[in-house]
Structure 1
Amino acid sequence: MQKRLAEFLAQFGFRTDAGLVDAWTWRAGFGFLTVLLIILTTIWRLVEPYAYRELTPQSSLIDWRTLATFVYLLFYSLGVIFIGISLYNLSAKRLRARGLPTGLAGLVPLGVLFSGAAHWLQPRVSENLSHWYVVGVDALLVGAVVWTVLELGFREPRALTPVEPRV
């Protein structure tokens, strides 16, 4: 099984939504992308405090820690978009194998982007946007993730053609 995943990754199996994958390959790819996103987000959370800097007459024009933080933010945002596209492609392959519409593959990436946007926006406009809005968006994301994992990671493919009875 690890050999199959290694071959899948060596071919860069997330670059297109064409083809079919089995449940094990989808789980392994989903896990790989999730761990990658968690690592990148953890690094961002560690360096994020350096993004905020007061400009005073005593401070220098360029703070190298702040500059490095924003350079990481640039690569982090590109990585998040790339992971979202890869997850869509991987899920579309599995949905096609299950006989379901491939448009459903965008539920989790879109939910993650909405959740991230809600978490970013709410503290900045807390007088206009309730905390319960963020909780609601997160609940929808959890529901989408649970459905996607159960449907694509553990259910068997549907028969795409009717099964003829044996005589």
Structure 2
Amino acid sequence: MKYLYQLFLAFNSTWLIVVVYLVKEKYEFIFLDEYHTYYSWILFVAIPIILSALSFLIARNLPKDSLQNNSVLEIELANNNFLPTYLGYFFVSLGIEDISTLIVVFTIIYVFTFLSQTLYFNPIFLLFGYHFYFIKTSRNIKIFLITRKQLKAPSENGFEKLRRINNYTFIEL
């Protein structure tokens, strides 16, 4: 289950490249009525939002874990660290000229995102109120945490309802 969830998270994290390309190229669903272009764009954007929401439900099946108050040494907000990466993705998708190039570029980015398995940053999680943090533990291990909490002081935060995505990435539901 954990392996499939990692594949799913990597897909959700990179799918916006395809969305930007489809909107740029004015792709549309034929079955929609006279405003099909705009409805298609809404649907293109809705798909990754729905898939991201689904990822929270699937995460409930991941292995449980916890992190005690006294084991958190440092907290660093990571929300803004990924903005350059996603801006790069958007500029790449705007520069892609055809669908075959999109498939190759998406596949390469997807494979590298999956194989890195250190971070599963999905900007759509921000829409659901989640934040991304780097947490340094008392064992001097830096983990990536996805949570709705606003973290400030290390000693004030314990995490009892974590789900382990991999050895360095956790989500709190």
Which of the five TM-score ranges fits, normalised by the shorter chain? 0.3 to 0.5
Normalised TM-score (structure 2): 0.32
Instruction: Determine which structure has the larger helix proportion and give its number.
Output: 1
Instruction: Determine which structure has the larger strand proportion and give its number.
Output: 2
Larger radius of gyration: 1
